[in-house]
Amino acid sequence: MLPHAADDISRDGKSLILAYDHGLEHGPVDFEPNPDTADPERIFELATHEAVTSLAVQKGLAEAYYPDYEDEVNLLLKLNGTSNLWMGEPDSAVNCTAEYAAELGADAVGFTVYGGSNHEVEMAEEFREAQEGARAHDMAVVMWSYPRGQGLRNDGSPEVISYGARLGLELGADVVKVKYPGSAEAMGDAVEMAGPADVVMSGGTMRDDKAFLRNVSNAIDAGATGIAVGRNVFQRDEPERILDALEAVIFDEVDPAEALAI
Ligand code: FBP
């Protein structure tokens, strides 16, 4: 059997991607609930938590901080990304090549594709280059598959999310990151559409512990292999505590209520 491409960024087939590209995507506002988290060092430290199977960052943070963490953290280098300062039809600038990601020591690359955007065609072509570059360097490919754009009335509908999951499989992603579609059943459909590609749910905006862990648990029950999460971890007063609970829910399939008591 061929080795699973995402093995380097997973544990027992499950994964917890700590996402920290928010400084680019949303700006400093995301650090306000927990100001210490504006310091990337705090997040690289957090990524050494046992629950975290990779840390997703942009090139600049990898260059500045990864050399000190390469023995303890798996690097998922995000190759594209765009700030919130810019307005228009969803698009994302390619900021890094797969070759340079490999040079920086990345285990995997991440790439956003906004299916349905007026820029979908160029984004798919850019993804092709990133995906083939990653294959040449034995790095796993994680697609942030976020269908959105003026042609999509409801980008959070289960049908659109399933289509996003399928898009990841069709274009050659090993892991497809999708928004949580609202129920275990809908997540199960997305997982089915992704076939052999892993599906991870996106963390989203801050929710209370119980509601958040319940969604994660539903996603795992539905066949998702984990989560890619930023704000729901680093915006909390005690990020380590929610990582402990996520570890129990994702890797040990502990009930959310019990996981919170750990
Ligand atoms: P969160 O868990 O904070 O939602 O992070 C996941 C993520 O995909 C980040 O990698 C990215 O910065 C952000 O969400 C983009 O969110 P959106 O495009 O929905 O504003």
Ligand 1 centroid from CA 41, angstroms: 20
Per-residue pLDDT at 3: 53
**Rounded to an integer, what distance in angstroms lies between the CA atom of residue 9 and that of residue 76?**
8
The finding on whether 188 has its CB within 6 A of some atom of ligand 1 is no
Per-residue pLDDT at 1: 34
Query: Which ranges of the chain would DSSP assign to H, the alpha helix?
Result: 22-25, 40-46, 59-65, 98-103, 120-136, 158-171, 184-194, 209-221, 231-234, 239-251, 256-261
Ligand 1 centroid from CA 214, angstroms: 19
Per-residue pLDDT at 239: 97
The finding on whether 133 has its CB within 6 A of some atom of ligand 1 is no
Residue 257, SS3 per DSSP? helix
**Rounded to an integer, what distance in angstroms lies between the CA atom of residue 149 and that of residue 47?**
32
Range of the domain at 42: 5-261
**Rounded to an integer, what distance in angstroms lies between the CA atom of residue 20 and that of residue 45?**
12
Per-residue pLDDT at 23: 98
Per-residue pLDDT at 86: 87
User: Could you report the predicted ipTM of this complex, rounded to two decimals?
Assistant: 0.94
CA nearest 131: which of 94, 104, 164?
Answer: 94
Packed helices 209-221 and 239-251: angle between N→C axes, nearest 10 degrees: 20
Ligand 1 centroid from CA 1, angstroms: 34
The finding on whether 256 has its CB within 6 A of some atom of ligand 1 is no
Per-residue pLDDT at 262: 76
CA-proximal residue: ligand 1, atom 14 (nearest): 204
Helix, strand, coil content of the chain in percent (nearest 5): 45, 15, 40
**Rounded to an integer, what distance in angstroms lies between the CA atom of residue 129 and that of residue 126?**
5
Q: Which two tokens stand for residue 90?
A: 């969803």
Ligand 1 centroid from CA 104, angstroms: 23
* Catalytic (active site) residue 59: no
Kindly give the parts of the chain with pLDDT less than 50.
Answer: 1-2
CATH number at residue 246: 3.20.20.70
Number of domains composing the chain: 1
The finding on whether 78 has its CB within 6 A of some atom of ligand 1 is no
The finding on whether 215 has its CB within 6 A of some atom of ligand 1 is no
